[in-house]
Amino acid sequence: MEKENTVIRVRDLVKKFGHFVADDHLSFDVYKGEIFGFLGANGAGKTTAIRMLCGLLEPTSGELTVAGLDGFKQREAIKRRIGYMSQKFSLYEDLTVHENIRLFAGIYGIPTRIRREKTEELLEKLELTSARKKLVRDLPLGWKQKLAFSLAIIHDPSIVFLDEPSGGVDPVTRRRFWDLIYEAAHEGITVFVTTHYMDEAEYCDRVAIMSAGKIVALDTPEALKKEWDATSMDGVFLKLARSNE
């Protein structure tokens, strides 16, 4: 990967809550078009990190550049260039599929004509055309996730942040969800995803493994498996955890 293709640049990024150090001197780069996984147990500092990257939290210290913008001073400008989907995916359950699409497209300032085209395209892709007037509340979980992801990238952001996006669904549904992620990455959207599912880690181009606020490993899944002499990411994770005790 080329240096000029860096879309997220993090150096010595620290976030403290009082005396508690949630993220301790994180440093890494994320390159354009890759799927970058952020792994770790609950409480390892993943969510705090992703929230700083999308401007939801102000870092305590360090350097942070997202899509060429400063993560301290240009947080609002960053928000135009990124998409975000959180673990409690945040569609409006009391609005219909179509109303949700209209709202988020509207918020990102997509012109009406383009919005209409995009809406039809999106409904067709997600096979939701017949469900457009259904309340989101009445959709199955897997569909809600797919819709939430599609809305997170409706404005063609350069990066999309996914915070444990596929919690609570079975591996098959998760696999289908990942097809959408691949598609987005293929179109040039950089994907930054946190997860604690090790099967998801296998789908990433590169993964960073976090433990107690620090990045303890960062490489491609293949390289990590080789380094730790494991057959799966699960094995890598277990061995890493043991060595850090």
* Residues contributing to the site for another protein (CB under 8 A): 51, 54-58, 75-76, 79-80, 82-84, 86, 88-95, 99, 102-104, 106-109, 161
Name which of 136 and 233 has its Cβ closer to another protein: 136
Name which of 110 and 210 has its Cβ closer to another protein: 110
Name which of 39 and 53 has its Cβ closer to another protein: 53
In the complex, the smallest distance separating the C-beta of residue 219 from another protein, rounded to whole angstroms, is 29
Name which of 77 and 223 has its Cβ closer to another protein: 77
In the complex, the smallest distance separating the C-beta of residue 80 from another protein, rounded to whole angstroms, is 5
Smallest CA-to-CA distance from 148 within 91, 79, 200 is with 91
In the complex, the smallest distance separating the C-beta of residue 208 from another protein, rounded to whole angstroms, is 21
What is the number of residues in the chain? 245
Q: Which two tokens stand for residue 205?
A: 């181009």
In the complex, the smallest distance separating the C-beta of residue 84 from another protein, rounded to whole angstroms, is 4
In the complex, the smallest distance separating the C-beta of residue 103 from another protein, rounded to whole angstroms, is 5
Name which of 156 and 205 has its Cβ closer to another protein: 156
Name which of 32 and 75 has its Cβ closer to another protein: 75
In the complex, the smallest distance separating the C-beta of residue 105 from another protein, rounded to whole angstroms, is 8
Please write down the HEC assignment for all residues of the chain: CCHHHEEEEEEEEEEEECCEEEEEEEEEEEECCCEEEEEECCCCCHHHHHHHHCCCCCCCEEEEEECCEECCCCHHHHHHHEEEECCCCCCCCCCEHHHHHHHHHHHCCCCHHHHHHHHHHHHHHCCCHHHCCCEHHHCCHHHHHHHHHHHHCCCCCCEEEEECCCCCCCHHHHHHHHHHHHHHHHCCCEEEEEECCHHHHHCCCEEEEEECCEEEEEECHHHHHHHCCCCCHHHHHHHHHHHCC
